[in-house]
Amino acid sequence: MLTYAINAYCDNPPKIPPPGDYFVALNCPTVTIYPASMGCPLKAKDFGAYYDSDQAAQVDKRVADSLVVHYFNNMRNLRANLTVMSSEHPLYKIMEKVCPVTEEQVLRYNVGRSY
C-alpha cells in the first residue's frame, strides 16, 4: 500500500533509497507518512500490556498520540491467561474512550467473560 501511494503521488521516487530517512528524500506534497507508532504504539512482543491492568498508565501514554491502535487479537487468542475481559484492562479503557457505543452495547456486558 505504501509503495503504491509513493508511486502514485510522489515525484519520481528513487529506485535506491538514499542514506538516512528514505521518506524525507521523497517529494510527496499530498502524502503524509506517519511513523509506525501512530498505528501500532506497542510492538507485537508487548501486546500483553493491553490486557494488563497494572500497565494502564504506560499503555495510555504510548497510545495518546496514535491515530489507530493495533491490538494483536490473534496473538491474544494464543494466551490462555488473557481471555477474561476486565473493565480495568487498558484496551477496554481505550475502547471506552474512543468507541463508546461498542463499550456500552457489547463490552460492558462481557466483563468477566472470555473475549
| pLDDT tops 60 at residue 18 | no
| pLDDT class of 39 with cuts at 50, 70, 90 | confident
- Same domain, yes or no, for 20 and 57? no
What is the CB neighbour count within 10 angstroms for residue 96? 15
- Same domain, yes or no, for 50 and 82? yes
What is the CB neighbour count within 10 angstroms for residue 68? 10
- Same domain, yes or no, for 56 and 96? yes
Residue 15 lies in a domain: yes
Give bridge partners of residue 19 from the DSSP assignment. Answer: none
- Same domain, yes or no, for 105 and 55? yes
The number of folded domains in the chain is 2
pLDDT of residue 102: 84
- Same domain, yes or no, for 49 and 25? no
The pTM (predicted TM-score) of the whole model is 0.66
| pLDDT tops 70 at residue 26 | no
Q: Are 28 and 3 in contact (CB under 8 A)?
A: no
pLDDT of residue 22: 58
Residue 12 lies in a domain: yes
Average pLDDT of span 96-100: 89
Nearest to 49 by CA among 17, 75, 23: 75
Nearest to 71 by CA among 90, 47, 54, 88: 47
Q: How far is CA 104 from the centre of its chain?
A: 22
Structural domain of residue 97, as residue ranges? 42-110
pLDDT of residue 59: 93
- Same domain, yes or no, for 72 and 24? no
**Is the model more confident about 26 or about 107?**
107
pLDDT of residue 113: 80
Q: What is the pLDDT of residues 43-90, one digit of tens each?
A: 888 888 888 899 999 999 999 888 888 777 666 666 656 567 889 989
Residue 115 lies in a domain: no
- Same domain, yes or no, for 17 and 52? no
Give bridge partners of residue 84 from the DSSP assignment. Answer: 114
Count of CA atoms in the C-beta half-sphere (13 A) of 1 = 2
Alpha-carbon distances of 15 from 30, 36, 95, 106, rounded to whole Å: 20, 22, 41, 48
